[in-house]
Chain A
């Protein structure tokens, strides 16, 4: 090759080299640019996701806090149920909140601190003394002083989970036990406080080891990398993902403090599976495995959590207790040289058992029907997405004590009914709700025969004809009318035929008899159909419909004459709303399930205070209530008298529909309202009337809960008069068919009908007695010696008069 050619060639090479170099530079610049873009993308991802809302948190729903005071009617058994429901744990020595100890007549416990609205209750060490029926005394053991009244922490009754099924309780770093932090760092990432997100030396070391062994035996993930992996990335084990992980770890460390990263780690870490819900975070894991809040965990329990990080399913302490114990003790022994934790404590911890609870609190709520109602009420104000992600705390009116008693009563009675009426076992369906009559709070609810099944909620969604439950509305409309109806107005119970929509309609009484002229209250007490239809038509369907709306029924329904016999369809919930204003004497308080809502940090968001929306005229409500009491005294609800204790006065109404498809009872005591519906999902006959079915269940529920007698408060312009039970005319107390009935001043009878036997006797003036029982029946004792029954046996006056009469 000629030198000139050689030069040419070398110039060519040089040229090429230069080009290559240029190309390389350009390539690097482009690559760097891409990498920068990639990094900035990652950066944005890190910042956005980490700075924003980090986790979707489930909404937690709590029951009412149990209020305890000396003299309260709660047995030791019921109190223990409450404790176990709140996951208090029996202990040999009371050390931490949530511990309790049962003795023969006392319970010693350390309560859990909590804050509700702006009220904070500290943890207290208490001794409660019980007798057979009640809590006798509460003593604060730290001061040895008696306690007047105290709220326990509200029990968790359920959650609304995020769509992807994560179950998480957030914890702030300051609430994580220091020893747990120390253990975590010592076990997982000793240089956590020094490195910048990745530990370069550890990576090199691990790479070498892995190369030597030709497989992955050692990892070098820092806590930051682990967090990045769980928080931002998939679980795929590729090189690209590793690089991404390292970059993001660096970025995370660049932007955030070590404490923030550690806190996020504690909340993100995956620690097992509860059915379809993944357990994320140490706080949730603490509830899941130990049934306690994180703050209450002891050293050996904390060590178990750290031990499980290596493989939550592999070291699941419930499934593999031996493996878990071994791993925990390994962790504990490693800590001896690497932490400041006292060696004696560590040794002591390794001697402990696992300390887990056998069964975790199920993530499925045991009270699906109540939770459904809560959700429905929440959805009126919150978006569904917020309920699944904002971690709201919802404090409700739910009472686990009442719920348990109600479930037991229903279960028992349904079995009995099915057996005695030869109904196929477990086919009788039920829906029931129990409320407090004075503040509208829902205490308990059963949406179907299977109490735990979260499916079709019959309290809310099964709309059934209500039968005679409609009648009180008709009678209220009449009593509210200016036409002067009163409890003794005579109603015509004779054959009735009318044309409705071109069709002949001949309604019948249930017993297919006609009873002639029946007093107003008796027509209701015995639930006669014909007088009810006549009354409704006379008052006007529009007026009845108006009364229905006044009582709080909001849907508009078409009203026909048959509606007067209850062809109107309603849910159990709607019926409860309808009867609530009657139960409270005419004061309309909305039915409520939620007392307050707070953020996940406990900051109050909204309170639902007690309210009386409007008031009905108390006089017709009073008169109607007297009649509804007579349903139980002498009418279709008489069976209740055999079920309930003698001192418990109640009012209510039975309802039955065609072919005995629905059996209803709605009624109330002085402080509780309950509605019971029995029926079948396939709409077949239940073989039960309201009286033989729902009433029996209702009675069993009311019998099993503490409740006050219904006291009707007599309005000022109402007076009780003695009248003839057939004609309604004024008469003397001694007459054989005299009864006492309340009248308004405007509607009081004026006609006097002395009883024939007494005409020659000295007629006593008619007494106007206030606050007298609804009717004091008069005995058939010889007229000349007035029977004690006609006298008010509550008053000394009555006895005195009677004795006087006897010796006259």
Chain B
């Protein structure tokens, strides 16, 4: 990141305006006319009430550059988010292990409850959803098992072994449903 910043500064000095728009991308360009041109265009069905100051200018396709979607975070923000993620991950992993212990003892309800607690803390963890799918499969809730496995798949990203597991659950659940 430091290298990037240094490179940026150097380039600003070198190229001046040519690169400035690139460096400062995160700030949306404030063109009042354009902003007024995009009020909420809701169901003005029968008549349109005139809004004071309403601009007639359209949002032209070549409007000012759009803001980048993933903006650069300040160092402070990054640390805060990192710490959130680490804390959440650590606690959900512990709960997952606890749930797995319950699962080994066939205590499905307890296991499900622990997983639900974990999901309230971090619902983007595909493993948690997978474990929930397994529990429902074991309990004979095949439709639920399939839905949870799908959800896990949806979040699994590049975790292929998890995806395979989910596929197995889905196949298994379908076998019982039809």
**Chain A residues at the B interface, C-beta cutoff of 8 Å:** 67, 69-73, 117-119, 133-134, 148-149, 436-439, 441, 465, 467-468, 505, 507-513, 515, 522, 526-529, 562, 565-567, 585-587, 607, 609-615, 618, 629, 633-636, 638, 641, 645-647, 649, 654-660, 670-671, 689-692, 706, 708, 711, 713, 715, 725-726, 736-737, 739, 773-782, 785, 787-789, 793-794, 799, 803, 806
Known: A134-B87, A529-B42, A615-B151. 17 other contacts (CB 8 A): A67-B117, A69-B91, A439-B119, A439-B123, A465-B43, A515-B58, A527-B40, A641-B67, A647-B81, A658-B45, A670-B124, A671-B123, A726-B61, A776-B68, A785-B18, A788-B23, A789-B22
Q: Tell whether, in the assembled complex, residue A118 and residue B67 are in contact, meaning their CB atoms are under 8 Å apart.
A: no
Q: Tell whether, in the assembled complex, residue A618 and residue B19 are in contact, meaning their CB atoms are under 8 Å apart.
A: no
Of chain B, the residue at the smallest CB distance from A562 is: B45
Partner of A148, one of B21, B68, B94: B94
Interface centre among A69, A465, A610 (most CB of B within 10 A): A610
- Given contacts A614-B147, A780-B65, whether A512 and B48 have CB atoms under 8 Å apart is yes
Q: Tell whether, in the assembled complex, residue B147 and residue A587 are in contact, meaning their CB atoms are under 8 Å apart.
A: yes
**Chain B residues at the A interface, C-beta cutoff of 8 Å:** 4, 7-8, 11, 15, 18-19, 21-23, 25-26, 28, 35, 37-49, 51, 54-56, 58-59, 61-63, 65-73, 77, 80-81, 83-84, 86-88, 90-91, 94-95, 109-110, 112-113, 116-117, 119-121, 123-124, 132, 144, 147-148, 150-151, 154-155, 157
Q: Tell whether, in the assembled complex, residue A527 and residue B19 are in contact, meaning their CB atoms are under 8 Å apart.
A: no
Chain B residues closer than 8 Å to A794, beta-carbon distance: 70
Interface centre among A67, A611, A692, A788 (most CB of B within 10 A): A788
- Given contacts A67-B120, A660-B49, whether A789 and B25 have CB atoms under 8 Å apart is yes
Q: Tell whether, in the assembled complex, residue B148 and residue A612 are in contact, meaning their CB atoms are under 8 Å apart.
A: yes
Q: Tell whether, in the assembled complex, residue A799 and residue B21 are in contact, meaning their CB atoms are under 8 Å apart.
A: no
Q: How far is the CA of A529 from the CA of B155 in the complex (A)?
A: 35
B65 to chain A, nearest CB (A): 5
Q: Tell whether, in the assembled complex, residue B62 and residue A737 are in contact, meaning their CB atoms are under 8 Å apart.
A: yes
Interface centre among A510, A636, A670, A806 (most CB of B within 10 A): A510
Can you offer 23 A-B residue contacts whose CB atoms are under 8 A?
A67-B121, A70-B91, A149-B94, A468-B42, A509-B44, A511-B55, A513-B56, A565-B42, A615-B147, A615-B151, A646-B73, A658-B46, A659-B49, A660-B49, A689-B42, A689-B51, A711-B124, A713-B155, A726-B61, A736-B62, A737-B61, A775-B69, A799-B4
Q: Tell whether, in the assembled complex, residue A468 and residue B41 are in contact, meaning their CB atoms are under 8 Å apart.
A: yes
Q: Tell whether, in the assembled complex, residue A562 and residue B68 are in contact, meaning their CB atoms are under 8 Å apart.
A: no
Partner of B40, one of A612, A689, A782, A799: A689
Q: How far is the CA of A638 from the CA of B42 in the complex (A)?
A: 15
Q: How far is the CA of A149 from the CA of B91 in the complex (A)?
A: 7
Q: Tell whether, in the assembled complex, residue A612 and residue B151 are in contact, meaning their CB atoms are under 8 Å apart.
A: yes
Q: Tell whether, in the assembled complex, residue A511 and residue B7 are in contact, meaning their CB atoms are under 8 Å apart.
A: no
Chain A residues closer than 8 Å to B123, beta-carbon distance: 436-439, 671
Interface centre among B44, B46, B90 (most CB of A within 10 A): B44
Q: How far is the CA of A625 from the CA of B56 in the complex (A)?
A: 29
Chain B residues closer than 8 Å to A585, beta-carbon distance: 154
Chain B residues closer than 8 Å to A708, beta-carbon distance: 124
Of chain A, the residue at the smallest CB distance from B87 is: A71
Partner of A71, one of B38, B69, B90, B148: B90
Q: Tell whether, in the assembled complex, residue A806 and residue B42 are in contact, meaning their CB atoms are under 8 Å apart.
A: no
Chain B residues closer than 8 Å to A691, beta-carbon distance: 39-40
Partner of B21, one of A117, A607, A789: A789
Chain A residues closer than 8 Å to B7, beta-carbon distance: 799, 803
Q: Tell whether, in the assembled complex, residue B35 and residue A638 are in contact, meaning their CB atoms are under 8 Å apart.
A: yes
A180 to chain B, nearest CB (A): 36
Q: Tell whether, in the assembled complex, residue B68 and residue A789 are in contact, meaning their CB atoms are under 8 Å apart.
A: yes
Q: How far is the CA of A254 from the CA of B122 in the complex (A)?
A: 60
Q: Tell whether, in the assembled complex, residue B84 and residue A73 are in contact, meaning their CB atoms are under 8 Å apart.
A: yes
Interface centre among B59, B150, B157 (most CB of A within 10 A): B59
Partner of A567, one of B23, B45, B56: B45
Of chain B, the residue at the smallest CB distance from A690 is: B40
Q: How far is the CA of A655 from the CA of B81 in the complex (A)?
A: 32
Q: Tell whether, in the assembled complex, residue A510 and residue B48 are in contact, meaning their CB atoms are under 8 Å apart.
A: yes
Chain A residues closer than 8 Å to B15, beta-carbon distance: 785
Q: How far is the CA of A517 from the CA of B178 in the complex (A)?
A: 47
Chain B residues closer than 8 Å to A629, beta-carbon distance: 69
Q: How far is the CA of A337 from the CA of B7 in the complex (A)?
A: 89
- Given contacts A118-B110, A794-B70, whether A529 and B86 have CB atoms under 8 Å apart is no
Partner of B38, one of A611, A612, A636, A726: A636
- Given contacts A117-B113, A508-B48, A513-B58, whether A69 and B69 have CB atoms under 8 Å apart is no
A757 to chain B, nearest CB (A): 14
Chain A residues closer than 8 Å to B155, beta-carbon distance: 713
Q: Tell whether, in the assembled complex, residue A793 and residue B72 are in contact, meaning their CB atoms are under 8 Å apart.
A: yes
- Given contacts A646-B77, A658-B45, A788-B23, whether A609 and B120 have CB atoms under 8 Å apart is no
Q: How far is the CA of A725 from the CA of B66 in the complex (A)?
A: 12
Of chain A, the residue at the smallest CB distance from B11 is: A806
Chain A residues closer than 8 Å to B65, beta-carbon distance: 777-780, 789
Chain A residues closer than 8 Å to B81, beta-carbon distance: 647
Q: Tell whether, in the assembled complex, residue A119 and residue B113 are in contact, meaning their CB atoms are under 8 Å apart.
A: yes
Q: Tell whether, in the assembled complex, residue A774 and residue B69 are in contact, meaning their CB atoms are under 8 Å apart.
A: yes
Partner of B22, one of A512, A713, A787: A787
B107 to chain A, nearest CB (A): 10
- Given contacts A612-B148, A646-B26, A793-B72, whether A526 and B21 have CB atoms under 8 Å apart is no
Interface centre among A436, A508, A528, A613 (most CB of B within 10 A): A508
